[in-house]
Amino acid sequence: MTGKVYLVGSGPGGTGLLTQRAAEIIDAAEVIFYDQLPGEEILSTLPARAEKIDCGKFGGRHTLEQHEIESLMVDRARKNRVVVRLKGGDPFLFGRGGEEIETLKAAGIETEMVPGVSSALAVPASVGIPVTHRKYASQVTILTGHEDPAKPEPALDWKLLAQSRGTIVVLMGVANLGTIARALLANGKDAGTPVAIIERGLRKDRRVTTGSLSTIGEVAVQAGVKPPAVIVIGDVVRLYDPAQPDLIPPGDT
């Protein structure tokens, strides 16, 4: 007999936007693979009886490599355990959920996906930035900031991105922000395009840093911007008003 693995999205931070289904599955878990992205408010609610395995990644240092995580999930499921792989945001949006599904299917492990509210949408919304707006943007592109524009064969089409009139949302992009901005500028993006960096999702210490595409790299360095952060590039950022109350209140952490 084998157990079952649930790939659970914890949302953008805090229990307020954790789905009811996700909360139910977490409460029933016997093994939980987690990292730091769900945040302390959610991690503090993990059941005491469950085996907890830290899969965190800190500044390039991985507690466990991806293949090790997948191997351990298969191992625990084959021991007839209820396994939860807890991820920030949604497991299928730059969360390696697709890779894990492939491994689990190949091993014959029953798997269920529990979607989460993506930080790509919720975090900008929390500070009054809609990723689409009839006046400013009719499309949105979400990309990973781990893609280095300077490498010989980048997977992203920077010319196409620069020419887009829509919003660009960058996840995991703090380290490469300056390089991303230069790539967009080099391919024709307006230097005055507004940019917002929202650090720490829905936590109480959330912070917003703004600038133009031509200045944001330097501004971010001067402000000491650190991950995790969601970066929004496009005219929708003009709707951000620092005097406006948060549209999605931060959580308890």
Residues involved in catalysis: 35, 57, 172
Contacts of 215 (CB under 8 A, 6+ apart): none
Phi, psi (rounded to 5 degrees) for 149 = -60, -20
Cis previous bond, 228, omega within 30: yes
Q: What gap in Å lies between CA 46 and CA 48, rounded to an integer?
A: 6
Residue type, 171: L
Q: What gap in Å lies between CA 216 and CA 194, rounded to an integer?
A: 9
Q: Write down the residue that tokens 């936007």 correspond to.
A: 17
Q: What gap in Å lies between CA 216 and CA 246, rounded to an integer?
A: 23
| CB contact burial 222-237 (16+ within 10 A = b; e otherwise) | eeebebbbbbbbbbbb
Q: What gap in Å lies between CA 239 and CA 43, rounded to an integer?
A: 33
